[in-house]
Structure 1
Amino acid sequence: MEIFNQIAPLKAFIHAQKQRGKSIGLVPTMGALHAGHLSLIEASKKENSITVCSIFVNPTQFNNPADLLKYPRTFDKDTLLLEKVECDAVFYPDNAEMYPETSLIKFDFSHLDKVMEGKFRPGHFSGVALVVSKLFHIVEPDHAYFGQKDWQQFAVIRQLSEELKFNLKLHSEPTSREQDGLAMSSRNLRLNEQQREQAIVFFRALSAAKTILLSGKSISEAKNLVKEIIEQQPGTILEYFEVADSKNLNLLENVKDSNRPIMCIAGFIGEIRLIDNMFLD
């Protein structure tokens, strides 16, 4: 497995592979890898000759400096995991390589980045779009893979890719979960034992909301149920629960107004913020 810290050698490696007619898959990550990330690597390996995993804790997508400082960084462990699944190359740049000067560019995705995550994390998706644009230009992948857990991010990147005419195919892979339903997340590493037990409340709330929505209850009733479930769990705070159209992210008042609705939730276990979602399929 090749490890690159600089853009130029990585681009030379990619160019040589493409000269040989090999396809390139990209899995962008911020490290602290878990089984969900590895499933993205495996999905890429099935469809591409060469799989590149990027590991970069992108500062421009953190609107909370404390959150950036506390984000888990486990590069040595990450490389061992990537070697086990036979990833071909890792791009592990530092901030100076990705942002040699302070970036002046800001992205605005209209309503896509004003609801849910965008509402509570202003500027977050501008930073995501900036770093993903850089990665797409650097790696020039044929395919790029993202997890469903960050569905709003995927919707934003899909818009970015369509409007800027990136010549690649995007893939959203199903959320990987622990046995008790907790969505796998790098932030789970920060949970202590008690918080880890509490964290499944978001999955329980989504599952309960799905059950009553599919039985014909209203979104308003589902919101009340979710609020009640979260409030019954000590140490947890609900930030939002919304039902949205999975393509345009318009918030719904009736599930019948969308061909494929998605429920999205975010909240805190102590000071640790977690998100999750679930389709109403």
Structure 2
Amino acid sequence: MLSTIVLAFQRWDGLSARRFTGLDNFAFLVKDPTFWQSLENTVVLFLMSTVPTLVLALILAVMLQSAVRFTNVYRIAYFIPNVTSLVAMAIFFSSIFSTNFGLVNAALRSLGIPQQDWLGQPWGIKIAISTMIVWQWVGYNTLIYLAGLQAIPKDQYEAAKVDGAGVVRTFFSITLPQLRPVVLFTVIMSTIGGLQTFTEPQVMVGNSGGTGQSGMTVVLFFYRAAFLDNDYGYAAAIALSIFALVLLFTAINWRIFRGRSEDR
């Protein structure tokens, strides 16, 4: 970390002698339109993937808790995407969203809907990448929520049933409040992971970020600066901005959940 901070104030291509440049790297970063584009893409992809992932994971966890048979089979099936190679998954989803041979366009054609160039247009790229992220992480978060659900005392549900509370009221009055620490954990971990999205866009649309750089994330931008442009000082400045971004979003999530807990 310390070496990254020092390098951010220097100019270095990995071969020549380092040269102190002060705040030049940060000044250039603020004026770099590609950085702001990558930042916007990262936040949009984070929202498009994290929110559906956590909502769907919670629904699946509640359903899985009610399952009587094959519970362990479901758990294993949900967790498989999380341990599958990211590169393999990215190639798989690239084929699914392929223009001419993809399953998504095949389904659209069967419904009489014109096919889309998913990986050739800005929002198509974001949809493809976020879909892959949801598929990868929904099972992991489902098991986390399931563990939290199983830790809730059964007598609370029995008391709610005696009081005449329905399923919806029980969920919002007992289940969600009891799951708050678990939800906070998944939100923070999803935030950290979502803001560091790299492999998915790199494999699916390449180092350029695709059409209009709509798949360019801040980590992919960092990779280009460091390993394609060999501008390690600038890459260090980008790395520090990523670190600050993760801290900011994590602090916001923590403050929101802690504030609601104190209100209750």
TM-score range, shorter chain: under 0.3
Higher percent of residues as helix: 2
TM-score by length of 1: 0.18
Higher percent of residues as strand: 1
State which structure, 1 or 2, has the greater radius of gyration over its C-alpha atoms. Answer: 2
Which of the pair has the greater relative contact order for Cα pairs under 8 Å at 6+ separation? 2
